[in-house]
Structure 1
Amino acid sequence: MKEETHIGMNRTGIQMSPFDTSAMQAPPASEIPATPGSEAALAQMRSLYIAEADTLGSVPVPGTVKGALTTGVSMLTGNNPEILLDKLGERLAFERTSTRLYDALITKVETLQEGTTSMTLGELRKIREEEFRHFTMVAAAIESLGGDPTSQTPCADLVGVESMGLMQVITDPRTTLAQSLHAILVAEMTDNNGWELLIALAEDQGQNSMMVDFSVALDSERSHLQMVQTWYEEATIGQAISNEAVDEAESPPSQQLH
């Protein structure tokens, strides 16, 4: 059982070194010009980088004759297939990461063996398989448009960077079940929003078959979100109850009578 949240020797705050506080807040030595803090220089440097930077990337040119024809016809009818392909690439990347997030969470649950939530390994494995099915469904949708599901679009690159923090939380051996579920909750909220936008884009470009498939996926993701939210609340409340029980057990007998 992982040790629950507790009061310990956290030395990160300024209050932990009261004798050094004044020195830390004092102005610089006389030989160093004292200048007020300003974000202007940092903002100016960032502005220069923003003005000169390229974009994250591009949607690749179709690598097959079928793909080129499909994209060309779509553009001639006034659609923007590159936008749909970019967002499909985003969902593909995120569903792949979601599958891996649940793989990592399953390992943590198996190891900790906590009974603070109604969550079961069977439910986690079912969600994991649904995330993987969504991944394969999006890959097929990309191929149906003549795209290459192995290519990394700009939005796929973006969510790959965004989700690295979530993976780090769950795979960190120090994080508790409640903390890991919080990361999964963030992922599920993002996932729901992503599917809603993808459905709107598919409708805008007349991709009726995709709309049906994506709506089914969204229903599943909404169910995932509800379950994870419940488990997170249970784990957090269960952790608080566990801490109270430990405090009561460790308190002197005279204090336990009150």
Structure 2
Amino acid sequence: MQDKISMGMNRTGLKTSPLLADELLEQLDLQADAPAPAIDADALRRAYREDAEPVGSVPPPTSIKGMFGAAVEALGGHRMHVLLDKLGERAAYERSGVRIYEAMLRKLDGAEDLPPGLTEAALREIRDDEASHFALLCDAIERLGGDSTTQTPCADITGVQALGLVQVMNDPRTTTAQALETLLAVERIDTASWELLVSLMDGFGQEELANEFSRAHVRELEHEERVRGWFTAAIHQRALGDSKAKAG
């Protein structure tokens, strides 16, 4: 697949048709001077917020050990359901990450002028890390007495957030560089989220899980650095004609 970005008949800018642009701006001025609509949009949105139900709920622990642990944490002011919600969120995101890297592998098929280091083997390595992190999170949820098959509220939200990333990766029109920029967004969210989980595990006194999550965080930082290098090299190749661009 060759880079599809080129000079062409893009007619979205105002300067492509100055006369019609002036007419459009005049209409905007007229609308700005028009009386305010009878419906107060802000008040309507506020009413919707006040009446809205929560996105979902976190189920209680599914084992005696889990219920006991939650009760002990509650005595210390800790809310186990908040931790389980964030673990469910990360598990959902890592599952989406596997799908996104699978899409990137498909996009690599037939691609030309790839940046240095961007290979099928390198992508599969990161894809496998995402899968192993998903398994780690599911195991952590079970060890804390939760149900790893539950879609928690934050898991629901992150699924919606990731939907756009998945759509961009599967769009046949997107270039390698655009796909790499999407992967970089994925990894930036990943590294910040794993850092948060490590601090939560420390706060809950889960030293073993904190250590395991720290190792996952280190791997995610490595992913981010590799993807950033590939993306930078791809843009340099495209913009500067630098065939010797090196991935960081």
* TM-score (structure 1 length as normaliser): 0.85
SS at match of 1:139: helix
CA distance in 2, matches of 1:219, 1:168: 28
SS at match of 1:238: helix
Superposition pairs for residues 25-104 of structure 1, below 5 Å? 25-27=25-27, 34-35=33-34, 41-104=40-103
> Is 1:143 equivalent to 2:142 in the alignment?
yes
CA distance in 2, matches of 1:9, 1:99: 37
SS at match of 1:119: coil
> Is 1:155 equivalent to 2:148 in the alignment?
no
**Partner of residue 216, structure 2:** 217
User: Partner letter of residue 138 of structure 2?
Assistant: A
Deviation, 1:147, is: 0.6
42 and 117 in structure 1: CA distance in 2 versus 1, 3 angstrom threshold: farther
Deviation, 1:64, is: 3.6
CA distance in 1, matches of 2:3, 2:75: 62
Structure 1: give runs of 5+ residues left out of the alignment: 245-258
SS at match of 2:92: helix
Deviation, 1:14, is: 2.3
CA distance in 1, matches of 2:195, 2:135: 18
User: Runs ≥4 in structure 1, deviation > 6 angstroms?
Assistant: none
Alignment length (residue pairs): 241
Deviation, 1:77, is: 4.0
Percentage of matched positions with identical amino acids: 39
153 and 76 in structure 1: CA distance in 2 versus 1, 3 angstrom threshold: same
> Is 1:227 equivalent to 2:226 in the alignment?
yes
SS at match of 1:111: coil
Deviation, 1:169, is: 1.1
Deviation, 1:41, is: 3.5
Deviation, 1:116, is: 3.1
Deviation, 1:224, is: 0.4
27 and 181 in structure 1: CA distance in 2 versus 1, 3 angstrom threshold: closer
Deviation, 1:225, is: 0.6
Deviation, 1:33, is: 11
Deviation, 1:130, is: 0.6
Structure 2: give runs of 5+ residues left out of the alignment: 244-248
User: Partner letter of residue 177 of structure 2?
Assistant: A
SS at match of 2:110: helix
Deviation, 1:26, is: 2.7
Per-residue displacement from partner, 1:216-242 (whole Å, max 9, x unpaired)?
A: 000100100110000000011111245
**Partner of residue 12, structure 2:** 12
Deviation, 1:114, is: 3.3
